Amino acid sequence: MTKYDYDLFVIGAGSGGVRAARIAANYGARVAVAEEYRVGGTCVIRGCVPKKLFVYASHFADEFEDAAGFGWTVEGARFDWKTLIGNKDKEIDRLNGIYIRNLQNAGVEIIESRATVVDAHKVRLEATGREVTAERILIAVGAMPFLPEIPGIEHAITSNEAFHLEELPGRVVVVGGGYIAVEFAGIFNGLGARTMQLYRGPLFMRGFDDDLRTLLAEEMSKKGVDLRMDADIKAIGKKDGELHLTLTNGDVIKTDAVMYATGRVPNTKGLGLEAAGVKLGKNGEVIVDEYSQTSVPSIYAVGDVTGRANLTPVAIREGHAFADTVYGGRKVKVDHSIIPTAVFSQPELGTVGLTEALARARHPEIDLYKTSFRAMKNTLSGSQERTFMKLVVDAQSDRVLGVHLMGPGSGELIQAVGIAVTMGATKAQFDATIAVHPTAAEELVTLRDKWRPPAA
Ligand SMILES: Cc1cc2nc3c(=O)[nH]c(=O)nc-3n(C[C@H](O)[C@H](O)[C@H](O)COP(=O)(O)OP(=O)(O)OC[C@H]3O[C@@H](n4cnc5c(N)ncnc54)[C@H](O)[C@@H]3O)c2cc1C
pLDDT tens digits for range 193-244 = 999 999 999 999 999 999 999 999 999 999 999 999 999 999 999 999 999 9
- CB-ligand 1 contact for 411 (6 Å cutoff): no
* Cβ(366)–Cβ(357) below 8 Å: no
- Tell which one of 42, 88, 130 to mutate to probe ligand 1, the residue whose CB is within 8 A of the most ligand atoms: 42
- CB-ligand 1 contact for 84 (6 Å cutoff): no
Q: What is the structure's pLDDT at 151?
A: 98
From 265, 256, 213, 260, select the one nearest 233 (Cα to Cα).
Answer: 260
What integer best gives the mean pLDDT of the chain?
97
* Cβ(209)–Cβ(351) below 8 Å: yes
Rounded (5°) CA angle 370-376-381: 125
Stretch 105-126: mean pLDDT = 98
Is this prediction's pTM over 0.85? yes
Distance from residue 304's CA to the centre of ligand 1 (Å): 7
Span 243-253, pLDDT tens digits: 999 999 999 99
Task: Spell out the residues 6+ positions from residue 143 whose beta carbon is closer than 8 angstroms to its own.
Answer: 42, 264, 265, 266, 267, 304, 305, 307, 310
- Tell which one of 38, 39, 43 to mutate to probe ligand 1, the residue whose CB is within 8 A of the most ligand atoms: 43
Separation CA 382–CA 380 (nearest Å) = 5
For the CA of 271, the nearest atom of ligand 1: 41
Separation CA 107–CA 304 (nearest Å) = 25
Greatest Cα-to-Cα distance within the chain, rounded to the nearest angstrom: 76
Could you tell me if residue 259 is left (phi over 0), alpha (psi between -120 and 50 degrees) or otherwise beta? Answer: beta
Stretch 121-130: mean pLDDT = 98
Separation CA 407–CA 363 (nearest Å) = 28
Span 251-289, pLDDT tens digits: 999 999 999 999 999 999 999 999 999 999 999 999 999
Separation CA 309–CA 19 (nearest Å) = 17
| Residue 445, helix vs strand vs coil | helix
For the CA of 43, the nearest atom of ligand 1: 17
Active site residue 437: yes
- CB-ligand 1 contact for 34 (6 Å cutoff): yes
Q: In a 10 Å sphere around its CB, with 0-12 CB exposed, 13-18 middle and 19+ buried, how is residue 270 labelled?
A: exposed
Distance from residue 10's CA to the centre of ligand 1 (Å): 14
More confident residue, 241 or 135: 135
Q: What is the structure's pLDDT at 453?
A: 86
CA-based R_g, the chain, Å: 24
Residue type, 58: S
Q: What is the structure's pLDDT at 1?
A: 56
For the CA of 114, the nearest atom of ligand 1: 42
Distance from residue 57's CA to the centre of ligand 1 (Å): 23
- CB-ligand 1 contact for 43 (6 Å cutoff): yes
- CB-ligand 1 contact for 53 (6 Å cutoff): no
Separation CA 17–CA 13 (nearest Å) = 5
Distance from residue 21's CA to the centre of ligand 1 (Å): 16
- CB-ligand 1 contact for 303 (6 Å cutoff): yes
- CB-ligand 1 contact for 340 (6 Å cutoff): no
- CB-ligand 1 contact for 144 (6 Å cutoff): no
pLDDT band of residue 455 (cuts 50, 70, 90) is confident
Separation CA 100–CA 104 (nearest Å) = 6
Distance from residue 204's CA to the centre of ligand 1 (Å): 23
Separation CA 202–CA 193 (nearest Å) = 25
Task: Spell out the residues 6+ positions from residue 19 whose beta carbon is closer than 8 angstroms to its own.
Answer: 315, 316, 319, 320, 323
Extended beta strands in 240-291, E state? 242-247, 252-255, 257-260, 264-266
Q: Which backbone phi and psi does 30 adopt, to 5 degrees?
A: -90, 110
pLDDT band of residue 38 (cuts 50, 70, 90) is very high
- CB-ligand 1 contact for 443 (6 Å cutoff): no
* Cβ(18)–Cβ(31) below 8 Å: no
Distance from residue 311's CA to the centre of ligand 1 (Å): 8
Q: Check pLDDT > 80 for residue 85.
A: yes
Stretch 340-354: mean pLDDT = 98
Residue type, 226: D
Distance from residue 15's CA to the centre of ligand 1 (Å): 7
pLDDT band of residue 19 (cuts 50, 70, 90) is very high
pLDDT band of residue 118 (cuts 50, 70, 90) is very high
**CA 41 to chain CA mean position, Å:** 13
